[in-house]
Structure 1
Amino acid sequence: MGVNNQSKISSEDLSLNFQEIVPGLTKQEAVEEANRCLYCYDAPCINACPTGIDIPSFIKKIASGNLKGSVKTILTANPLGASCSRVCPTEELCEGACVLNHSTKPIMIGHLQRYATDWAIQNEQSLFTAGKENGKSVAIVGGGPAGLSAARELALLGFKVTIFEAEDKAGGLNTYGIVPFRLPLNISYWEVKQIESLNVEIRTGTRVGQDIAVEEIMKKYDAIILAIGMSKVPELGIDGEDLTGVFDAIEFVKETKTKPLTTQLLGKKVAVIGAGNTAIDAATNSVRLGADNVKILYRRTREEMTAYEFEYEFAKQDGVEFRWLTAPVGILGDELGNVTGIECINMKLTEPGEDGRRRPVPIKGTEFILAVDAVIKANGQSRYVELIEQFQLEHNEGVVKIHPTTYQTSNQKVFACGDVIYGKGLQGDAMVVTAVQQGKESAYAIHQFLNSSVIETA
């Protein structure tokens, strides 16, 4: 992968490790690839895309040189199509459904989507205009993929939209949570700018429930969308979590994207707890920050791992080691409070329970110690339960309960989408593209709800 992790690197040299790892297609490559497409009439790739992009259409427009038409087709269906072209598990979605899998190799749909959206970014295209004002207003709490997608659709429908975003920049996961060598910041910023251009107001640095009261929002707006995502990584519940050198994976990746790179991991040994996509990002981030050895510790096996297969392969190419059936029981430190090791225990899996998952249990007497200089916690994310309860919404341990087709919560004025409704066996996969589609569908549901309300009160 060309990653330089020698211990003598300067912080300036590290920036080379964070350049985007996958190069974009050249014009010739894109046209040749587009001409491989069969332009299926009943294309299975469309059905495999959660946002329903007309894939044959946008590819055919690339082949004919109509790049503006191509990107318009993409973004009409997926407001965050530039980001998704980089982070979607296309092998499992559109490319996995391509009919050419049976004969040669699938069309590089993700790469072609990136080619078209990159053209729009480089040429500063403005592709949509706000719809005629309808006199209704909607507040969106959270400016991540779901909230931005909902805002775009509502603006096209003529709603006055205000996004309340706690962070300094909108974009959520795309801006803060995905490593820059896979999703550069300028891509997310461009998508946010596209949505702001539709007269969408984005109030950054505004935490609902603290900087502005829930009651004020409920009173001022005709409808509200809760798109707050998830919170920080929870505590492991073991000794040593307060030592210097223990990191929250979400904050760890965020700092890489928003602050100058540091050399604190140069030549160090790192243990990452967890095996989801965030754990992979934390591990590969550590490699690029110069870590000498990075291990992912997971209490289950590869079969239960929640990270995508391409993420797993990427981490292996970066030299990340995987220790399956391994759980931490304590973090060790020196007299100065710095991490020196992590105590682990071997696990075994029970028979599947009612949820179908095999539960890991420790094997007594198998404790051992790994010498490490840093521990990164990537064992899931907690929920914004307090804020959900301020809205007085029904929830299951922070997973907001909604109507399965309208996204309406227990308060008919409040809708919810994205990670806040994901979990407990509900609402599909935790993918950016899924959140985008839920944002769209929430917007359409609000449009129907408020129009119905007008009709009923007329």
Structure 2
Amino acid sequence: MTSKYNQEPKGYTMSTVMQEAARCLLCEDAPCSKACPAHTNPAKFIRSVRFRNVKGAAETIRENNALGAICARVCPTERYCEKACTRAKIDGPIDISGIQRYVTDMERKENMQILHAGKDNGMSVAIIGSGPAGLQAATTLRQKGYAVDIYEKQVKAGGYLTYGIPEYRLPEEIVDYEVQRIVNLGAKINYNVTVGKDITMDELKAKYNAVIVAIGASAAKTIPMFEHNICTESAISFLARAKENKGNIDVPDNVLVIGGGDVAMDVVTTLKKLDVPHVTDVVYEEFDEFRASKKELAGAQKAGVTIIDGYEPKEVHQNRATFKHRKIDSELTITADKIILAVGQKVDADGLDIDIQHNEIPFREARYHTKDPKVFATGDIVDGDKTVVVAVQKGKEVAEEIDRVLGGQNND
């Protein structure tokens, strides 16, 4: 039952990655490189691959992305670098993520040591949360010579990388590898520590030169009519259970999913990989409005998920839900053994003494600042796309802003 859930698709071999890299037009002032939020340079690392310089390719990737092996697997490249690829106008974009995965897989296999910490500058930063933004911020700060302590409320680092993205898309060993590399840089992770309960924000501000809130949007949103419904579970809860148990969970034969984002696609595809015969996804958006990655949507459709677009919930009675169409006079009722809500996440900032409005922190004149000059914020609680690669961008930028404010003395 669990083999399909745990099985990651095979990546390139040396011969096949060379064939794909050879398709690259080696554009001058490459548009793909301009389109990456993390400022990774695909044109440069693909050129290195063509010359069989895998370490050089890895150095290019890691220069701007501490989570390169993760982004290679989960980044919606069709929105970013591959969308801008010149080759897309001829016969299809270069498989940039696939080439990046090959490079970072070789980096791991050969135990390449690419990232290095900077000389100690005598200052320290606390980071609350070890999701992608927090991990990238820790890396950039260590490279600039700051001492970094991460406070993580869970038993493992990674946030949604560890507790949400399914194993077939992002194996646990890849997340562990990326985290360990950051620990090897000198970042210290304090596990099972909830800021606001086990340690206060005031204590952190007294101990460190700056504090970064990188908690993400980790709490599940709901729809009022589904609250306290015994047949309903949140997508976050379901995905966490599946990942923690390596797919060894009991799931009924008929499941209704509500939602049309990437998390919803993770849910429905996971259900099919767990051999659930009847998976129906009802989505508020119509297909031309879909928020999910085209690749993940196509994967769900190929897996046999029934997707009904343009409907919103009207009422629910335990396992029986009725929907109405947004634009036409049409209703449908579905009875399922289980209902999973994938309608978004929200910020849970209890005990952090930060001003959350409309699920984000309102910023002053400078991005990443909060009402407290010593406290900064990054990740999904900052406006912008809620993807891993954008979280990497935000983590790097908040570290650079802190360094500017504190006047780091070692920026080599």
Q: TM-score, normalised by structure 1?
A: 0.85
Deviation of 1:406 (Å): 4.2
The answer to whether the Cα contact below 8 Å between 1:83 and 1:183 also exists between their aligned partners in 2 is yes
Is 2:281 the counterpart of 1:303? Answer: no
1:443 maps to: 399
Partners in 1 of 2:222 and 2:88 — Cα distance?
43
Partners in 2 of 1:182 and 1:165 — Cα distance?
23
The answer to whether the Cα contact below 8 Å between 1:240 and 1:331 also exists between their aligned partners in 2 is no
Deviation of 1:234 (Å): 2.5
1:396 maps to: 357
* Structure 1 residues 405 and 107, CA gap change in structure 2 (3 angstroms): farther
- When Rg is computed on C-alpha atoms for both structures, the one with the higher figure is 1
The answer to whether the Cα contact below 8 Å between 2:242 and 2:249 also exists between their aligned partners in 1 is no
Deviations, residues 192-223 of structure 1 (Å, cap 9, x unaligned): 01100011001121111111111111111100
1:378 maps to: 342
Of residues 197, 204, 212 in structure 1, which corresponds to 2:199? Answer: 212
Of residues 412, 420, 427 in structure 1, which corresponds to 2:373? Answer: 412
1:344 maps to: 322
1:261 maps to: 247
1:46 maps to: 33
Of residues 264, 270, 278 in structure 1, which corresponds to 2:263? Answer: 278
* Structure 1 residues 41 and 19, CA gap change in structure 2 (3 angstroms): same
1:320 maps to: 305
What is the aligned residue count?
409
1:199 maps to: 186
Segments of structure 1 that go 5 or more residues without pairing to the other structure are 1-13, 334-340, 350-361, 422-426
Partners in 2 of 1:119 and 1:344 — Cα distance?
50
Of residues 287, 302, 306 in structure 1, which corresponds to 2:272? Answer: 287
Partners in 1 of 2:246 and 2:97 — Cα distance?
30
Deviation of 1:235 (Å): 3.0
Deviations, residues 234-268 of structure 1 (Å, cap 9, x unaligned): 2321257431x4211112111111125335225x1
Give the alignment of 1:165-204 within 5 angstroms: 165-204=152-191
RMSD (Å), alpha carbons? 2.0
The answer to whether the Cα contact below 8 Å between 2:8 and 2:167 also exists between their aligned partners in 1 is no
Segments of structure 2 that go 5 or more residues without pairing to the other structure are none
Partners in 2 of 1:241 and 1:153 — Cα distance?
43
Partners in 1 of 2:52 and 2:40 — Cα distance?
19
Deviations, residues 94-129 of structure 1 (Å, cap 9, x unaligned): 111111122233221111100000111222222222
- Matched to 1:265, the amino acid is V
The answer to whether the Cα contact below 8 Å between 2:32 and 2:81 also exists between their aligned partners in 1 is yes
Deviation of 1:41 (Å): 2.4
Deviations, residues 300-330 of structure 1 (Å, cap 9, x unaligned): 3223322122221111011111122323344
Give the alignment of 1:140-179 within 5 angstroms: 140-179=127-166
- Matched to 1:342, the amino acid is R
* Structure 1 residues 290 and 240, CA gap change in structure 2 (3 angstroms): farther
Query: Aligned with 1:61: secondary structure?
Result: helix
Query: Aligned with 2:405: secondary structure?
Result: helix
The answer to whether the Cα contact below 8 Å between 1:280 and 1:307 also exists between their aligned partners in 2 is yes
Deviation of 1:232 (Å): 2.1
Query: Aligned with 2:281: secondary structure?
Result: strand
Deviation of 1:137 (Å): 0.4
Partners in 2 of 1:82 and 1:158 — Cα distance?
24
Deviation of 1:64 (Å): 1.6
The answer to whether the Cα contact below 8 Å between 1:141 and 1:165 also exists between their aligned partners in 2 is yes
Residue identity (%): 35
The answer to whether the Cα contact below 8 Å between 1:145 and 1:432 also exists between their aligned partners in 2 is yes
* Structure 1 residues 437 and 263, CA gap change in structure 2 (3 angstroms): closer
Deviation of 1:229 (Å): 0.3
* Structure 1 residues 140 and 23, CA gap change in structure 2 (3 angstroms): same
Query: Aligned with 1:211: secondary structure?
Result: coil
* Structure 1 residues 52 and 181, CA gap change in structure 2 (3 angstroms): same
Deviations, residues 148-196 of structure 1 (Å, cap 9, x unaligned): 0000000000000011111111111211111111111111111101100
Deviations, residues 344-388 of structure 1 (Å, cap 9, x unaligned): 131324xxxxxxxxxxxx96xx6553121111111111221434x
- Matched to 2:380, the amino acid is D
Partners in 2 of 1:168 and 1:209 — Cα distance?
17
Deviation of 1:26 (Å): 0.8
Deviation of 1:404 (Å): 6.9
* Structure 1 residues 239 and 27, CA gap change in structure 2 (3 angstroms): closer
Query: Aligned with 2:276: secondary structure?
Result: coil
